[in-house]
Structure 1
């Protein structure tokens, strides 16, 4: 009887724990029928302190594989890394650029990338004590930064579309290309709110406005997976960079940021909050400090706010070597070990690239910190691995990756995104669109036929056939016999002088298209030493004047570009100027003397075709500026939603930007009418109005709603974007647009740094930009 009771108790215990007969032979953490909480607890109980610390390391990944013929194997360096550090994550395994010294011939195409990921996973699954799969984190701000992937416009270009729908589609493509090759974490979107175009990374951002950045950032996150890691192609979206990284003193990358706590809550934090609500499961810290606290050791931001207030459930990763920076750059920690302790205690879970967290084992052993802090960080990382199903499905199919990555559908979306981003700033006498029957077009300028200057930073090397330049696009519209091209000059190198040849060609043409601007292209043709330093070649200066670390003191065109434009103007031929740029360069001369002026940002691999589509009327431009264009660096910061009082003009010039946030032209015209404001609840107002296409072309309008709290307890912006919508209208068509103002739209950050709605009168301003308001109205909040 006792024996039978004993057996019954055992059976009951097994059933209570949820084990099946088959699972009795498996450790609980490997049993997919169990809950993640049970599996996570079991795995954590089996791990040594060294193994736990290893899961918090994310070393550089591009030296971790070896290509032999058509197969890929773990490198000796990878095996040593796994043995000595138990690393649970790698960064930029598939990355190719001059820094990694991976080229089209030595790097990974999509099929080989998938094989590399499989080989690394297989090694850790079969050759480590617990067989914990690895996370592979990849740069993906405007496409996966790997060979053979689809390259979209950079962030500032995508933001110019003002289209969350398109950006969500882009996110879906990026996620699909990352996951099909065996990656799991996508670094992006970049939600840094930028007000200083001197800063080198403006191109990566969504611009100067918190609402636009938040809506577009949330759309990208939804496309990347939206937080549901059980989806086949979902990635862990990593938001960059936390926080206020894009407004450094002097425009110097990583420099000290001077910004008030109320400004942080009103402007810089909301885009991140919205993207986290959309499902972002990773946040990257930034290099800068705020009010003397390095962001990588800021407990208030990373724990009190992110975890306790926002209930963020993902993990925080440092930027590359930013933990070391607490010691070596900010000088607030006397040793690298102290820097690591301050970072992990503040809430940084993963150490990107460096080895600072290898000190955590010693810190726990010597009583400088509790191992519970390590356990908490490890659980955040491992939970994501369980949610993604990596323990059951660590491998991908290489042939599928080869088929999916940069498919025809993805290339088509790249063109569509580039079209939507192009912003028309001037069109004197409706010179655009050009007639395709034109006899001769002169295409001039350093960015007219430069493939890498179309792409922006964080881009892998490309096959020439993959990138369409402006010259390519125009020839495709006309024919080679009707197009003459001369480079004219370089972006920076004053030794390149073909201005006379450019003028000669321009004189024989009916219209001149000058393509100027900047470059974030890292030179793939340069030779590099083993250290990664470039071998300078006589008479060659890189075009690069933008991209991470390339901050500017001025915003004028470099090299002989201004000289080239003025010489072309002297020919008397109609002059169309196109800026390919990563930051809003100064456009005073072009604004006055060009017959038409466009900015295309860095438009990606299909940018040349998209620009030609706009120039010749196959696409009616509807891009809107996501960041204001200054008249002079002396105005900086110059952004549309500054707080009261009104600006007054300088002695030398107007205080306003030459082109403000939200501005952009179309080939057609739009009329606004019939504003209605109806209260639907205590803090809810429905705003409706009509928009009619009154011009000669079908087109798209971007309706924008701004509000201003007339009198509040703290100083408010003179105007603040709250809602926007991009929509098509055929010529003669009229549509009714409805926006709903909710409580969050009416909130301010009061004197106690609390988010609240205050009673008062609000002004509503509706139009096609904050400087082109067509409808005004008032409503009151009791």
Structure 2
């Protein structure tokens, strides 16, 4: 914690705070009809000065926070604790973010309730994939293809965060990300629209629970609106220039799904769209979001995003930036302080309509009312609950379950996995072998002690004789270690099998961590090549926050696991999979390209007028790069099990369907292996001819199916006409007649069971 305020000084006021929390509140709303509540809020607005209104639109970083939270954003003017208390008392601060101390939150709230109008503050935080208990990074969790798992982990995170007074989380990130160079891919659910929509809804429901007024819920904030994942070249904060059709077809729907699930807020994106920055884009925030979608909630800026209108070249100065952002529909300014500084002056000069300011203030106050803050400003601030809610046995067990389900098995030649728990000497080599801090991944600001989450500890816990495990680092993530390769080769020579824990560090993923070459860092690739030269069987365990282009000995290893960043139970979960205590069931939410220069690559690309014929033979004057086919190394949806799953013949309920009708698609799936598995059975379609060209395949549904050894199951899907809709010439959804190919398959590029039908 920062030294400007001691824990003792916070605790001194605890008894008076507890007393105050039991006192009747002058502003307590209690049960009210919507009209009464609206009248109450209108009455407040009528009493407010311009400075108080600007204060309700101003959100600042908490001056009392963790060192991880303080380092999570670029340096900016940081308020001191005394200053922040003064601003709260003056009514010039709507809330703070990324504080995690319940006593500090109570003290700030007490000062806010001393203000003239006694409007309570709200408290926000970046709770991206866990609070004290850390779950797999969102991209990893998306690999589970299990929205209910995402709902449960978000619910657990909300229980922990709300207990220290957090009302609002800046999550989930719902940006569709199709360029693996983009570092923030790790925060989302990958490249597919359907999976992205389902995960967005699940996380919103998990965070918000049975209603955001409850003291165990936090409000969700789907972000970043919009198309941040389409940044040119995968470069963070970069320009986005896509068609309106692409926005409506690909980038808007996950936000709409989040709002349909009950999200009351969203965050403006750092990027511009077709020349207009999102923070100043009235078409995006006002016409589309509020006009077309009837979104009545709150739009918050990203960190200093309103001020960045100047460097975008859209605003002339700070005052102009504040005016443009508020006019465009950004209700709340995060961290820049521009609204507090300039909004009163802009209104008095006639450059900003008072009605526009009042509308933004009304949205903020309505949000606070929905959070239950007028009913009880302290209802999420209970020290006993704050202590009891953190890292419970149930939450840690959920972290282990989520981690196991997020692991993807890319290769398993000669059935090298699972490893034997006894009678096998194992060398564990690589920078991730015993580095528990790296298992958390990026955007972890408040974690508890995960020092036993490293892979070495997890493997020793399952081995009959832990002395059979030799552990060496071999190299660091981005630098060689003196004598590291020699030590690793010696360990490999004395082992029966080698497990290499390699990949990206958490510092190579996340915000501002775009990479030009999405390959294994050079020192680690050299380490893998040297160890592979020993001839010992090699298992690669990848840590990564994006799709990687694998090459050389890494790709040639007989077994490859993708582990992402798995969080508080990383080591135990990976050991469960490595030793066969659990069968891998994860599937890739992103396509792994053949070469770095192939990105952006995503499975539902268009065919072009010159597609290469199916098969590996490359023909001249066709769509492919020199020497490689236009396909993935490991496609979206790919993932193996410890069984042997086969897909039988496709069956359709008819040869055709009406545009407003349905058709049933089914296929038998059989596990011919000797181990029980969980298979992700996927349904894809392709519209052969349409008024707007369509992708080569689109995921329309999927099922997770448990199959015992030797068991089979007929998996059935129902396709509806609306599932075949696309954004037509008039930029509205349309279903057209025609022939559709359909697949029930284990990945986006596998044939599986294949057939066709006609839409009348």
TM-score normalised by structure 2 residue count: 0.89
SS of equivalent to 1:201? helix
Contact 1:168–1:223, Cα closer than 8 Å, also in 2: yes
Contact 1:586–1:631, Cα closer than 8 Å, also in 2: yes
1:141 aligns with 2:116: no
1:669 aligns with 2:644: yes
For residue 467 of structure 2, what is the aligned residue in structure 1? Answer: 481
Contact 1:676–1:687, Cα closer than 8 Å, also in 2: yes
Greater mean alpha carbon deviation, residues 619-628 or residues 550-559: 550-559
SS of equivalent to 2:135? coil
1:565 aligns with 2:528: yes
Provide the rounded CA distance (Å) in 1 between the counterparts of 2:518 and 2:126: 28
1:726 aligns with 2:708: no
Provide the rounded CA distance (Å) in 1 between the counterparts of 2:233 and 2:439: 27
Contact 1:688–1:736, Cα closer than 8 Å, also in 2: yes
For residue 188 of structure 2, what is the aligned residue in structure 1? Answer: 205
For residue 530 of structure 1, what is the aligned residue in structure 2? Answer: none
Provide the rounded CA distance (Å) in 2 between the counterparts of 1:559 and 1:649: 27
Q: Note the C-alpha offset of 1:743.
A: 4.0
SS of equivalent to 1:274? helix
SS of equivalent to 2:347? helix
For residue 51 of structure 1, what is the aligned residue in structure 2? Answer: 52
1:686 aligns with 2:649: no
Q: Note the C-alpha offset of 1:320.
A: 0.3
Contact 2:154–2:207, Cα closer than 8 Å, also in 1: yes
Q: Note the C-alpha offset of 1:273.
A: 0.9
Which of 268, 273, 286 lines up with 1:285 in the alignment? Answer: 268
Provide the rounded CA distance (Å) in 2 between the counterparts of 1:440 and 1:31: 66
For residue 505 of structure 2, what is the aligned residue in structure 1? Answer: 519
Query: 1:626-668, CA deviations, whole angstroms, 9 ceiling, x for partnerless residues?
Result: 0111122211111100012236332232322211111111111
SS of equivalent to 1:738? strand
For residue 307 of structure 1, what is the aligned residue in structure 2? Answer: 290
For residue 17 of structure 2, what is the aligned residue in structure 1? Answer: none
For residue 43 of structure 2, what is the aligned residue in structure 1? Answer: 42
SS of equivalent to 1:58? strand
Provide the rounded CA distance (Å) in 2 between the counterparts of 1:64 and 1:459: 13
User: How do 1:595-614 and structure 2 match up within 5 A?
Assistant: 595-614=558-577
Q: Note the C-alpha offset of 1:272.
A: 1.0
Contact 1:677–1:779, Cα closer than 8 Å, also in 2: no
Distance 1:268 1:454, change over 3 A: same
Which of 112, 133, 137 lines up with 1:154 in the alignment? Answer: 137
Distance 1:435 1:240, change over 3 A: same
For residue 504 of structure 1, what is the aligned residue in structure 2? Answer: 490
For residue 273 of structure 1, what is the aligned residue in structure 2? Answer: 256
Provide the rounded CA distance (Å) in 1 between the counterparts of 2:125 and 2:313: 30
1:414 aligns with 2:399: yes
Provide the rounded CA distance (Å) in 1 between the counterparts of 2:226 and 2:66: 34
Which of 106, 119, 122 lines up with 2:107 in the alignment? Answer: 119
Distance 1:226 1:777, change over 3 A: farther
For residue 536 of structure 1, what is the aligned residue in structure 2? Answer: none
Greater mean alpha carbon deviation, residues 490-499 or residues 176-185: 490-499
Q: Note the C-alpha offset of 1:437.
A: 1.4
Provide the rounded CA distance (Å) in 1 between the counterparts of 2:466 and 2:504: 26
Contact 2:28–2:375, Cα closer than 8 Å, also in 1: no
1:336 aligns with 2:314: no
Distance 1:551 1:364, change over 3 A: same
Distance 1:76 1:206, change over 3 A: same
Q: Note the C-alpha offset of 1:261.
A: 1.3
Distance 1:635 1:139, change over 3 A: same
Provide the rounded CA distance (Å) in 1 between the counterparts of 2:395 and 2:301: 31
Distance 1:743 1:123, change over 3 A: farther
User: How do 1:636-655 and structure 2 match up within 5 A?
Assistant: 636-645=599-608, 646=611, 648-655=623-630
For residue 619 of structure 1, what is the aligned residue in structure 2? Answer: 582
Distance 1:346 1:779, change over 3 A: same
Contact 1:65–1:78, Cα closer than 8 Å, also in 2: no
Distance 1:561 1:633, change over 3 A: same
User: How do 1:118-517 and structure 2 match up within 5 A?
Assistant: 118-125=106-113, 127-144=114-131, 149-225=132-208, 228-327=211-310, 329-358=311-340, 359-395=342-378, 396-460=381-445, 465-478=450-463, 479-517=465-503
For residue 22 of structure 1, what is the aligned residue in structure 2? Answer: none
Q: Note the C-alpha offset of 1:295.
A: 1.0
For residue 91 of structure 1, what is the aligned residue in structure 2? Answer: 97
Greater mean alpha carbon deviation, residues 41-50 or residues 362-371: 41-50
Q: Structure 1: 5+ residue runs without aligned partners?
A: 1-24, 67-73, 95-112, 521-543
Provide the rounded CA distance (Å) in 2 between the counterparts of 1:373 and 1:708: 46
Contact 1:247–1:257, Cα closer than 8 Å, also in 2: yes
Q: Note the C-alpha offset of 1:130.
A: 1.4
Q: Note the C-alpha offset of 1:141.
A: 1.2
Distance 1:51 1:602, change over 3 A: same
Greater mean alpha carbon deviation, residues 472-481 or residues 153-162: 472-481
SS of equivalent to 1:429? helix
1:586 aligns with 2:568: no
Distance 1:462 1:499, change over 3 A: farther
- Tell me the number of residue pairs that the alignment of Structure 1 and Structure 2 aligns: 704
Q: Note the C-alpha offset of 1:440.
A: 1.4
Query: 1:194-232, CA deviations, whole angstroms, 9 ceiling, x for partnerless residues?
Result: 111111211111101111111111111111116832334
Q: Note the C-alpha offset of 1:64.
A: 8.0
Provide the rounded CA distance (Å) in 2 between the counterparts of 1:303 and 1:677: 45
Provide the rounded CA distance (Å) in 1 between the counterparts of 2:494 and 2:221: 52
Query: 1:469-504, CA deviations, whole angstroms, 9 ceiling, x for partnerless residues?
Result: 111111111143111111000111235541101111
Provide the rounded CA distance (Å) in 2 between the counterparts of 1:419 and 1:65: 29
Query: 1:672-728, CA deviations, whole angstroms, 9 ceiling, x for partnerless residues?
Result: 335233558824333333323221111101011111111110111010111112232
Which of 742, 747, 753 lines up with 1:775 in the alignment? Answer: 753
For residue 545 of structure 1, what is the aligned residue in structure 2? Answer: 508
Q: Structure 2: 5+ residue runs without aligned partners?
A: 1-23, 68-79, 613-622
Q: Note the C-alpha offset of 1:461.
A: 6.3
Distance 1:591 1:777, change over 3 A: farther
Greater mean alpha carbon deviation, residues 452-461 or residues 419-428: 452-461
Distance 1:252 1:269, change over 3 A: same
Provide the rounded CA distance (Å) in 2 between the counterparts of 1:600 and 1:26: 50
Q: Note the C-alpha offset of 1:387.
A: 1.8
Greater mean alpha carbon deviation, residues 676-685 or residues 664-673: 676-685
Contact 2:63–2:81, Cα closer than 8 Å, also in 1: no
Distance 1:26 1:693, change over 3 A: closer
SS of equivalent to 1:644? coil
1:697 aligns with 2:675: yes
Provide the rounded CA distance (Å) in 2 between the counterparts of 1:615 and 1:28: 57
Contact 2:102–2:164, Cα closer than 8 Å, also in 1: yes
Q: Note the C-alpha offset of 1:30.
A: 4.3
Provide the rounded CA distance (Å) in 1 between the counterparts of 2:186 and 2:597: 21
For residue 86 of structure 2, what is the aligned residue in structure 1? Answer: 80
SS of equivalent to 2:289? helix
SS of equivalent to 1:516? strand
SS of equivalent to 2:568? coil
Q: Note the C-alpha offset of 1:57.
A: 0.7
Q: Note the C-alpha offset of 1:254.
A: 0.2
SS of equivalent to 2:307? helix
Greater mean alpha carbon deviation, residues 368-377 or residues 591-600: 591-600
Contact 2:503–2:520, Cα closer than 8 Å, also in 1: yes
For residue 656 of structure 1, what is the aligned residue in structure 2? Answer: 631
